[in-house]
Amino acid sequence: MASQKSSANMEWDNAGIPDAPTAPQSLRQAGLSLNFLNDLLMRTLYVQGVMLGLDLARQVCLPFKVIEESLKFLKDEKCVEVQGGDLIGRVSYRFQLTELGRHRAQDSMKQCAYVGPAPVPLVDYVEQTYRQAVTGISCSPEPLRAAFSHLVMKDEMFNTLGPAIVSGRSVFIYGPPGNGKTSIARAIGEFMNNAGGEIYVPYAFLAESSIITVYDQALHQAADEREGDRIEDNEATIRRLLNSGTVDARWVKIHRPVVVTGGELNLDMLDLRYNADANFYQAPIQTKANGGVFLIDDFGRQLCSPKELLNRWILPLEDRHDFLTIASGKKFEVPFEQLIIFSTNLDPRDLVDDAFLRRIRHKVSIDAPERPIYEKIFNGMVKRLGMNPCPEAVDYLYERYYSQGRSARASDCRDLLEIVQAICRFRRQPVQLSRDLMAEAAATFICEF
| pLDDT at residue 242, as a whole number | 54
Decide: 257 and 285 in contact? Cβ < 8 Å: no
CA-to-CA distance for 169 and 135, rounded, in angstroms?
8
DSSP single-letter state for residue 18 = B
Cβ pair 293, 139 in contact under 8 A: no
Domain spans in the chain, listed from the N-terminal domain onward: 33-116, 129-365, 371-445
Q: What is the DSSP letter of 229?
A: P
> What CA–CA distance (Å, rounded) separates 175 from 114?
46
The CATH number of 371-445, from 2.60.40, 1.10.3470, 1.10.8, 1.10.10, is 1.10.8
Contact between 120 and 202 (Cβ < 8 Å): yes
CB-based contact 37:118 (threshold 8 Å): yes
Topology, domain 129-365: Rossmann fold (3.40.50)
Cα torsion angle, 373, 375, 379, 384, sign: positive
Q: Is 320 helix (H, G, I), strand (E, B) or coil?
A: coil
The predicted pLDDT at position 85 comes to 61
Contact predicate 203/229, CB 8 Å: no
d(CA 128, CA 193): 18
Q: How far apart are CA 128 and CA 25, in angstroms?
A: 18
> How many of the other CB atoms lie within 10 Å of CB of 289?
26
DSSP state of 411: H
Number of neighbours of residue 90 by Cβ within 10 angstroms: 15
pTM: 0.82
Other C-beta atoms within 10 Å of 265: how many? 19
Report residue 315 CA to chain centroid gap: 21
* Cβ within 8 Å of residue 405, ≥6 positions away: none
Q: Which residues contact 375 (CB under 8 A, 6 or more apart)?
A: 394
281 CA to centre of own chain? 17
Per-residue pLDDT of the chain (449 residues), as tens digits, is 333 333 333 333 434 455 779 999 999 999 999 999 999 999 999 999 999 999 999 999 999 999 999 999 999 999 999 987 655 567 788 999 999 999 999 999 999 999 999 999 999 999 999 988 887 677 777 778 887 878 887 777 788 888 888 777 788 888 888 887 878 878 887 888 777 788 999 999 999 999 999 999 999 988 875 444 444 555 555 555 555 568 899 999 999 998 988 888 888 889 999 988 889 999 999 999 999 989 888 887 878 888 788 788 888 888 889 999 998 899 999 999 988 888 888 777 777 777 777 777 788 888 888 999 999 999 999 999 999 999 999 999 999 999 988 889 989 999 999 999 999 999 999 988 999 999 999 998 987 54
Q: Which CATH architecture has domain 33-116?
A: Orthogonal Bundle (1.10)
pLDDT at residue 168 in the model: 79
